[in-house]
């Protein structure tokens, strides 16, 4: 199907990021294989798939942290340093002695450079961003003293300050409370209505169906890429699970424990 190949966009629209037969390997071991498709400007796409499917590897490749072992990935007029990136929480050292306010300002270092000055206007914007994410009185708190949800709010404030046209989020709502998830999803929706391109790795299929118009379903290889309705079919989701099982053996039975929806898998 054309939209599967083109990431749910019409052949006329010009992409912001395109992948041409991209494979990525760790120490010559292929992890993702032969992914082709395009992200259109202003699209809101969830990348989903079982554990170990290669989702974070794909994001790191988009961010230029990994290079394709085969094929090519192009960012069209988007320098990688201008992309807003939220890595997985597990990849961030929270013991670093730094305050909430300083962490938010760090979002600007790629633009300002390590010795770049912070103007009064930017300092004001950093404070405003903290207010927007509900952390008005937290500026001087060390990040080591925050809850997981509060810390994720700080990282979203940092993204707000970056004001990026393309935003890449790796499991932004994992292990955080319901209210924080709701508030941060609202920010993602705001970015979408502002015309920014948002790409997020997510495991919760209901969340994807509720909020994300496009999906890239991955199980080392591309299962499907297009509109959420086209991609998240029972057949595709089960195919992703089966493909992963062929790498990792039987997946957790909890993946199958909610059968009230048409698709037996509700969470990757
Ligand atoms: N630095 C690394 N060196 C070697 N192998 C790695 C490295 N990082 C990831 N892998 C392997 O690559 C595969 C894909 O990992 P990746 O983190 O991209 O998957 P994922 O879909 O994001 O998984 P999860 O949903 O569990 O976060 C896994 O088998 C993982 O063990």
Look at residue 110 in the predicted model and tell me its pLDDT: 61
Pocket test for ligand 1, best of 29, 56, 68 (most atoms within 8 A of CB): 56
Structural domain of 51: 1-81+201-268
Nearest CA to ligand 1 atom 24: 51
Per-residue pLDDT at 244: 80
Specify the pLDDT at position 197: 97
Ligand 1 touching residue 30 (CB < 6 A): no
The number of domains in the chain is 1
Tell me whether residue 212 is in a domain. yes
Q: Is the CB of 19 within 6 Å of ligand 1?
A: no
Q: Are 88 and 170 in contact (CB under 8 A)?
A: yes
Q: Which CATH number fits the domain that encloses residue 61?
A: 3.40.50.300
d(CA 21, CA 23): 7
**CA-to-CA distance for 168 and 63, rounded, in angstroms?**
8
Q: Which spans in the chain are helix H?
A: 2-5, 55-62, 100-105, 109-112, 120-132, 148-162, 178-193, 205-211, 228-231, 234-248
ipTM higher than the 0.95 cut: yes
pLDDT of 10 reads 45
So what's the pLDDT on residue 114? 58
The owner of tokens 């499917």 is: 53
- Cα 12 to averaged position of ligand 1 atoms, centre (Å): 34
Residue 54 near ligand 1, beta carbon < 6 Å: yes
Q: How much is the pLDDT for 267?
A: 74
Quick check: is 194 in a domain? no
Cβ 52 under 6 angstroms from ligand 1: yes
Question: Does 248 sit in the ligand 1 pocket, CB within 6 Å?
Answer: no
pLDDT at 251: 55
Q: What pLDDT score was predicted for residue 203?
A: 92
Mutate to test the pocket of ligand 1, among 54, 251, 265 (most ligand atoms within 8 A of CB): 54
Ligand 1 centre distance from Cα of residue 54 (Å):
6
pTM over 0.90: no
Answer whether residue 255 is part of any domain: yes
Atom of ligand 1 nearest to the CA of 248: 29
Please name every residue paired with 198 in a beta bridge, in sequence order, or none if there are none. 44, 167
184 and 153 Cβ atoms separated by less than 8 Å: yes
Q: Is residue 121 part of a domain?
A: no
Is residue 159 in some structural domain?
Answer: no
What is the full per-residue pLDDT of the chain (268 aa) written as tens digits?
Answer: 334 444 444 445 799 999 999 999 999 899 999 999 999 999 999 999 998 999 999 999 999 999 999 999 999 989 998 999 998 876 777 788 889 999 998 877 666 655 566 677 788 889 999 999 999 999 999 999 999 999 999 999 999 999 999 999 999 998 889 999 999 999 999 999 999 999 999 999 999 999 999 999 999 999 999 999 999 999 999 999 988 877 666 555 444 333 335 566 777 7
Q: Judge contact between 86 and 159, C-beta under 8 A.
A: yes
CB proximity list for 16: less than 8 A, separation 6 or greater: 39, 40, 41, 43, 75, 76, 78, 165, 166, 197
Q: What pLDDT is stored for residue 264 in this prediction?
A: 62
- Give me 10's structure tokens: 């019409």
Q: Atom 25, ligand 1: which residue's CA is nearest?
A: 51
Q: For tokens 């994720």, name the residue.
A: 152
């Amino acid at each position: 199907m054309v939209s599967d190949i083109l990431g749910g966009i019409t052949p006329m629209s010009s992409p912001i990021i395109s992948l041409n037969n991209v494979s990525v390997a760790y120490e010559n071991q292929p992890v993702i294989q032969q992914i082709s498709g395009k992200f259109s400007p202003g699209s809101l796409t969830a990348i989903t798939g079982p554990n170990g499917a290669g989702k974070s590897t794909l994001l790191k490749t988009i961010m230029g942290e990994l290079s394709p072992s085969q094929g090519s990935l192009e960012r069209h007029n988007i320098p990688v340093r201008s992309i807003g990136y939220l890595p997985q929480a597990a990849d961030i050292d929270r013991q670093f002695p730094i305050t909430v306010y300083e962490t938010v300002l760090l979002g600007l270092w790629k633009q300002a450079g390590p010795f770049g000055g912070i103007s009064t206007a930017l300092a004001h914007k950093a404070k405003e961003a903290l207010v927007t994410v509900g952390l008005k009185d937290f500026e001087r708190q060390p990040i080591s003293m925050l809850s997981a949800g509060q810390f994720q709010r700080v990282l979203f404030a940092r993204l707000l300050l970056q004001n990026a046209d393309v935003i890449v989020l790796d499991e932004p709502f994992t292990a955080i409370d319901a209210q924080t998830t709701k508030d941060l999803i609202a920010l993602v929706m705001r970015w979408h209505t502002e015309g920014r391109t948002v790409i997020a790795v997510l495991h919760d299929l209901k969340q994807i169906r509720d909020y994300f118009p496009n999906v890239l379903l991955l199980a080392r290889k591309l299962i499907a890429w297009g509109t959420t309705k086209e991609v998240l079919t029972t057949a595709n989701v089960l195919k992703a699970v089966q493909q992963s099982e062929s790498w990792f053996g039987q997946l957790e039975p909890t993946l199958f424990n909610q059968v009230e929806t048409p698709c037996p898998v509700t969470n990757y």
